[in-house]
Structure 1
Amino acid sequence: MASIKREIKDTINLTETHIVPSLPHPIRLQEYGVGLFKSALTKSALKKALKKNYITVNERIATSATLINGGEHITISIPKDINPTHTLIFPLTVLFEDDYLAALHKPAGILVSGNTFKTMANALAQNIKRSTRYDAARPQPVHRLDFATTGILLAGKTSSSIRALNQLFEAKTIHKTYYAVTIGDMEAEGTITSNIDDKPSQSHYKVLESVASKRFDTLNLVRLKPLTGRRHQLRKHLYSINHPILGDKDYGITNLILKGKGLYLHAYSLSFNHPFTNETIHLKDDFPKRFKKLFPSKIAEIMANNTSHL
């Protein structure tokens, strides 16, 4: 249960400066600067700082198109609250943690980040230990999960780990497995390809078990592997083949929308090579109870396995 603690508000400008070392080739500031500054660690935060003219390069206001060649002085100055007007108190389950990164369970009904006060980003610092590394930073999520989606969320704890994890996601070397409950008789396995927001997207699916339903005819436990990371990709893809996710109010068939039970979409696992220890990391997050009620034996079988291949 989230609660709020009120505090006195005061504001200062936080300024950070970075001198660019020699670079093998020019790179845009909005790419080079990801994870570089504690006050704008993520790609979205950096873009926002650029739009608000908070960043200068060699004392000139920078833009997203500014090229970094090496030797520049980059300065970021962002107004910050010394004591925020509210402190979010929101206990989270930590699935994995070391000095570089952490993985936590994201409940349904909370945003990962954004302008809203109640977000996973705002709750991270109270739930995980501060890194002892030289570039320790306020922990930041490095990918997105929808408001209604449950499951595993990865966060970086240092400037270099946030940057490295963002690069792994961009290179598609972090492998994600989701599970969903879908409606209707489906093909046993398939690949869905489409453009989302004018960008190519692709997802693999496999039906693991189907059960009869009076209201929905058939409900399926489906394993999903997104090969790209577009907004609402899995939900849109399943809706596009007329097999929407149970409980999806945005991408559902009007007379088959289940209300009050939540979205049956769960980010179950992440697999990747640790960018600093080079260990193979495979993380899992237990299924919500509502999944287990529908497919108890199959989910017990999945949980007993160490991997989750399609």
Structure 2
Amino acid sequence: MERQRLSDYAVGLFDVLPSRKSVKKAIKLGLLTVDGAKADTGLWVQPGMTLEVMKDEKSAKTYELKVPVVFEDDYLAIVNKPAGLTTSGNSFKTLENTLAFNLEPGNQPDAYQQPKPIHRLDHATSGLVIVAKTKAVRVALGKALQEGQISKFYKAIVSGDTPSHGEIHTPIEGQKAHTTYKKVKSRSDKLYTLLELSPITGRTHQLRIHCAEEGFPIVGDKLYGGVIGPGKGLFLCAYRIGFQHPVTGAAIDAHIDLPQKFNRLLKD
């Protein structure tokens, strides 16, 4: 890695920081952080640093959409994102903008006014998202995610029949990608199969790409050739997530029921 100062390295790294001027402004406002701490323009970037850019909380607006809360304490929460809602980004109607409406305000000294998702689900994917309510927890969970210490499990309905279990190692955009899967059940006509999937790596659209390349695309996946059959939307749900609480040390194992459309499609 070529040695660079933060003010140069961060240009174009995020959509909201397209220029050196925008980077300097974000640093001045305290919106650009390195390992959870406010950044300095002259900082030399080192391998392993976690860089994040945050919204200006003073101007953040709340999207008043009710979202199911599966777990919550003063440090973090786990929420069930509905399909069709973007996790975060520049638009107003995002999961991130609903969090202040759905969660209790944090009482810790470094609590966010607007809690932050620590990972994303695709717009079309429903299911569990971990949310940090404090800056320290966001850094800790971000590192746990990078180090593979957060276990994520999905269920998907795919087209046709599949092997009973398997592993997929097909690279995605030149990067290593690893998914494990096992069959849960198939319809008697073998038209659809319910799989449990676990992404060992975290590439964009990894599960969707891997299923499609193995010959059993996820139902409703218009982008990767999935059958657009009965039911609406993508049949992919992040139904279970497990990790160690970064503050209390407790083992967290959260899970949800699948959307009703899954049960309807699997009926013989």
TM-score by length of 2: 0.80
Which has the higher Rg, Structure 1 or Structure 2? Answer: 1
Partners in 1 of 2:19 and 2:104 — Cα distance? Answer: 27
**Deviation, structure 1 residue 179:** 0.3
Partners in 2 of 1:273 and 1:290 — Cα distance? Answer: 31
Matched, 1:66 2:66: no
Question: What amino acid sits opposite 2:211 in the alignment?
Answer: L
Question: What amino acid sits opposite 1:98 in the alignment?
Answer: D
**Deviation, structure 1 residue 293:** 2.2
Any gaps of 5 or more consecutive residues in structure 1? Answer: 1-26, 31-42, 69-75, 297-310
- Name 1:244's counterpart in structure 2: 217
- Name 2:128's counterpart in structure 1: 152
- Name 2:31's counterpart in structure 1: none
Structure with higher strand content: 1
* Pair 278,210 (structure 1): closer, same or farther in 2 beyond 3 Å: same
Any gaps of 5 or more consecutive residues in structure 2? Answer: 7-12, 29-33
Identity of aligned residues (%): 36
Question: What amino acid sits opposite 2:65 in the alignment?
Answer: F
**Deviation, structure 1 residue 252:** 1.3
SS of the aligned residue for 1:267 comes to strand
Matched, 1:200 2:176: yes
C-alpha contact (below 8 Å) 1:55/1:62 kept by paired residues: no
- Name 1:52's counterpart in structure 2: 22
Partners in 1 of 2:195 and 2:148 — Cα distance? Answer: 22
Partners in 1 of 2:93 and 2:62 — Cα distance? Answer: 10
* Pair 259,117 (structure 1): closer, same or farther in 2 beyond 3 Å: farther
- Name 1:218's counterpart in structure 2: 191
Partners in 1 of 2:141 and 2:20 — Cα distance? Answer: 22
Partners in 1 of 2:246 and 2:53 — Cα distance? Answer: 29
RMSD: 3.3
* Pair 241,49 (structure 1): closer, same or farther in 2 beyond 3 Å: same
Which residue, 45, 48, 73 being the options, matches 1:98? Answer: 73
Question: What amino acid sits opposite 1:52 in the alignment?
Answer: S
**Deviation, structure 1 residue 276:** 0.6
Matched, 1:124 2:103: no
- Name 1:172's counterpart in structure 2: 148
TM-score by length of 1: 0.70
SS of the aligned residue for 2:100 comes to helix
- Name 2:139's counterpart in structure 1: 163
The C-alpha deviation readout for 1:261-284, integer Å capped at 9, x for no partner, is: 111001011111111100011001
The C-alpha deviation readout for 1:114-173, integer Å capped at 9, x for no partner, is: 112110011111100111111111200000100010111110000001111101100100
